[in-house]
Amino acid sequence: MLRSLHMKLVMIMILLIMSLMIVVGAFLINSVTAFYMEDFYSQVSDVFQDPLLYHDLITPSEEEEDGADQLFQVLNAYAGELGVDNRNRKLYILDGSGVVRVSPDGGDVQLEYTENLTFALASGLETGEVGDESNLALDYMDVAIPIHRGGEDYIVYILDNKSTSNDLTDQMLVLIIEALIFGLVISILLSFLLSKTMVTPIQSLTEGAMRVAERDFSKKIKVPSQDEIGVLTDTFNDMAGQLQDTLRQVENERNKLDTLFLHMTDGVVAFSRAGLVIHSNPAANRMLRRAIGPETTYEELFGEIAPLERALDTPDHLEGELQVRDSFFQLLMAPFDRGRAGGGALAVLHDVTEQRKNEELRREFVANVSHELRTPLTNIRSYAETLMESARDMPPEMEKKFLGVILNESDRMTHIVQDLLTLSRFDSERDELKLSKFPFGEAVRDIYNAVYMEAQKHNHTLTLDLEPGLPQVLADRERVIQVMMNIVSNAIKYTPDGGRIVLSAGWERDKVWMEVDDNGIGIPDADRERIFERFYRVDKARSRQSGGTGLGLSIAQEIMRRHDGRLYLVDKAEPGLTIRMELPVAGPEEGGHEG
């Protein structure tokens, strides 16, 4: 409370009034006393400078008995002019030895030997000098005048006890105290007035500043006047406005960064110089497959701390690689706020697992292609060489057989190359589907008819089981037939002679399906997932022997994918394999064109 500006103003006003009153009072009282004294001495000097009086004082009358008494009589006539009232100011006549001869009170009076009296008695009587030294500090004032009269020495002594002046100053003191109280009341009232004009706008400015400190920019402070406080308030309002704009911009930027940080696919982790995590985004948590918190250290996430230390000192950024279980990351580290207390390094993780896998697949694919082509090529070359070396000695049947092998192998190569071309067209999305509506059931029946003879050759029992009312589908007929053919041929190929193969087809709501079920060699569990991979074959020798390339199922699955359909293995307990294809009746959602 005492610290408030309002109280300070009141205190200042009170102190101001009090000090003013004290100074003025002191001056007044002092000057009243001084005036009273001056008046006393000038009265005395005026009276005693009167030549007539002086004559009467020094000249004794003829029948005079007591000079002192006579002197008193003479001077008593001047009592009014001298201000002698015999109460506060008294007249005494002393003889040369300092004995009081006449006093207004009568009887023996013993006067105090004041400075002036002592002076008059000591030297005044000889020199005629008057003892009239004045001193404001004394509580009396006096004058001692030496007189020679009729050969006798007398001292006329006038003593004033300052009572009149003291009464006056007392009254003035009372007056001053009254004025002081009045002044205090006025000062308090004035300070209220002042606080209204000065403290109120400062208070509202303070409240406004507190609101701004709490980020509340909703209210502007009213500008009370055009004085300095008004200008200050105006400037404060401007400043608050600018601050609000800047904060909004900063917040905007931060929100943008936060959103980016939250949704970016790359993982970002910020580390302090000590290697503790300051911040991390969900992608980083996901990639590193663990919760990252403020307690997590660099070592826990990335191992050795040395790269972080190097990154903290690098002017630009460092790049590295990181493997977390079966995932690969490109690690980029850059320092931030280098050399400053809150600085550290930022680690950005870019997932390159897919890239790595693709590279691996490509490498594998190239190796597979080379291998697949090399085998028939080696065969062709060796048969051709043998033919050339022993052309004359070879029986014509043998020659024919050799040439047959050469032809077969080159057919195989053509087959492989054709399949590869198909796949490459699919990969580059160059091959558009030629969509048309055709009855699905009919297509299945066509396949059944086409492979019937082949199945017969192997003594297989081939059954067709079509649900009634199979609808028309919108699809690329040729491609769909290719898929059907591939899975049915596989069933024939991978079922030992005399097997049982069931070709069934049906439909449900918006899709049609065809299933090929055989009781052949089946596929071991470990291989089931991989048979749709390019060149993947469970038994390479057997597949090759039957003219397989290992590309058929991957092409078939790609065709189904492009139709928004599916091709998958159905789980079954009995030996053999069930493979199922599904197609949407309405055709793929996009891609291809109706033919």
Provide the 10 A C-beta neighbour count for residue 260. Answer: 11
Of the pair 43, 549, the CB lying nearest ligand ADP is at 549
- Judge whether 490 and 578 are in contact, CB under 8 Å: no
Does residue 94 sit in helix, strand or coil?
Answer: strand
- Our finding on whether 543 is near ligand ADP (CB under 6 A) is yes
Residue 380 as a binder of ligand ADP (CB under 6 A): the answer is no
Among residues 538, 564, 569, 580, which is the contact residue for ligand ADP, using CB under 6 A?
A: 538
Q: Specify the 3-state DSSP secondary structure of 514.
A: strand
CB 302, CB 290: distance < 8 Å? no
According to the binding rule CB under 6 A, does residue 552 interact with ligand ADP?
A: yes
Residue 21 phi/psi, 5-degree rounding, is: -65, -40
Q: Looking at beta carbons only, is 484 or 523 nearer to ligand ADP?
A: 523
Residues in the chain: 595
Residue 522 C-beta-side C-alpha neighbours within 13 Å: 12
Number of residues that bind ligand ADP (CB under 6 A): 21
Is 277 among the residues that bind ligand ADP (CB under 6 A)?
no
User: Looking at 18-26, 347-355, 395-403, 532-540, which segment touches ligand ADP (CB under 6 A)?
Assistant: 532-540
**Least distance from ligand ADP to the Cβ atom of residue 506, Å:** 20
Strands (E), 417-541: 434-439, 461-466, 472-475, 500-508, 511-518
Strands 500-508 and 566-570: unpaired
Matching residue, tokens 């300051």? 278
Report the residue number, 153 or 409, with the smaller CB distance to ligand ADP. Answer: 409
Specify the residue, 116 or 557, whose C-beta has the smaller distance to ligand ADP: 557
Per CB under 6 A, 520 contacts ligand ADP: yes
Residue 494 interacts with ligand ADP (CB under 6 A)?
A: yes
Contact status: 413 vs ligand ADP (CB under 6 A): no
Q: Please identify, using beta-carbon distances, which residue of 2 and 541 lies nearer to ligand ADP.
A: 541
In DSSP terms, 581 is beta-bridged to 514, 567
- Verify binding: residue 451, ligand ADP, rule CB under 6 A: no
Is residue 67 a contact residue for ligand ADP (CB under 6 A)? Answer: no
- Scanning 25-33, 332-340, 477-485, 544-552 for contacts with ligand ADP by CB under 6 A, the matching segment is 544-552
Residue 8 or 540: the one with the smaller Cβ distance to ligand ADP is 540
**Residue from 523, 559, 581, 583 in contact with ligand ADP (CB under 6 A):** 523
Closest separation between CB of residue 584 and ligand ADP, Å? 24
**Of 245-253, 261-269, 284-292, 542-550, which segment contacts ligand ADP by CB under 6 A?**
542-550
* In the complex, minimum distance from the CB of residue 279 to ligand ADP, in angstroms, rounded to a whole number: 49
Q: Which of 183, 344, 522, 588 binds ligand ADP (CB under 6 A)?
A: 522
- Who's near 89: CB < 8 A, 6+ residues apart? 40, 82, 83, 158, 159, 160, 161
427, 416, 430, 458: which is closest to 550 by C-alpha?
Answer: 416
How buried is residue 437: exposed, middle or buried, by Cβ count under 10 Å (0-12/13-18/19+)? middle
Span 458-487, contacts to ligand ADP by CB under 6 A: 486
In the chain, how long is the greatest CA-to-CA distance? 210
- Of 33-41, 58-66, 437-445, 546-554, the window that binds ligand ADP (rule: CB under 6 A) is 546-554
Instruction: Tell me the window of 10-18, 182-190, 454-462, 488-496 that interacts with ligand ADP (CB under 6 A).
Output: 488-496
Residue 92 as a binder of ligand ADP (CB under 6 A): the answer is no
> Taking the complex as a whole, how short is the minimal distance between the CB of residue 327 and ligand ADP, in angstroms?
29
Please report whether residue 553 would count as binding ligand ADP according to CB under 6 A: yes
521 binds ligand ADP (CB under 6 A): yes
> How far is residue 131's CA from residue 111's CA, in Å, rounded to a whole number?
15
Q: Which long-range contacts (CB under 8 A, 24 or more apart) does 375-381 make?
A: 375/544, 376/409, 376/410, 376/412, 376/413, 376/416, 377/409, 377/413, 379/405, 379/406, 379/409, 380/406, 380/409, 380/410
Cβ closer to ligand ADP: 537 or 563?
A: 537
Under 8 Å between Cβ of 91 and 76: yes
Toward ligand ADP, which CB reaches closer, 438 or 536?
A: 536
Least Å distance between CB 283 and ligand ADP?
A: 37
Residue 549, interface with ligand ADP (CB under 6 A)? yes
> Residue 522 carries which DSSP code?
-
Residue nearest to ligand ADP (CB): 548
Location of structure tokens 């309405």: 586
- The answer to whether residue 499 forms part of the interface with ligand ADP (CB under 6 A) is no
CA 48 to chain centroid, in Å, comes to: 96
Distance of closest approach, residue 534 Cβ to ligand ADP, in angstroms: 8
Residue 376 in the binding site for ligand ADP (CB under 6 A)? no
CB of residue 370 to ligand ADP, shortest distance in Å = 18
Give yes or no for residue 537 binding ligand ADP (CB under 6 A). Answer: yes
Query: Within 195-325, where are the H helices?
Result: 200-213, 228-263, 282-288, 298-302, 306-313
Tokens of 45: 């000097």
Radius of gyration of the chain (CA): 65
Task: Give first-to-last CA distance, the chain, whole Å.
Answer: 93
Closest to ligand ADP by CB, 75 or 551: 551
List phi, psi (to 5°) of 51: -65, -35
The minimum distance between CB 361 and ligand ADP, in angstroms, equals 16
Our finding on whether 420 is near ligand ADP (CB under 6 A) is no
Q: Which residues bind ligand ADP (CB under 6 A)?
A: 486, 490-491, 494, 518, 520-523, 531, 537-539, 543, 548-553, 577
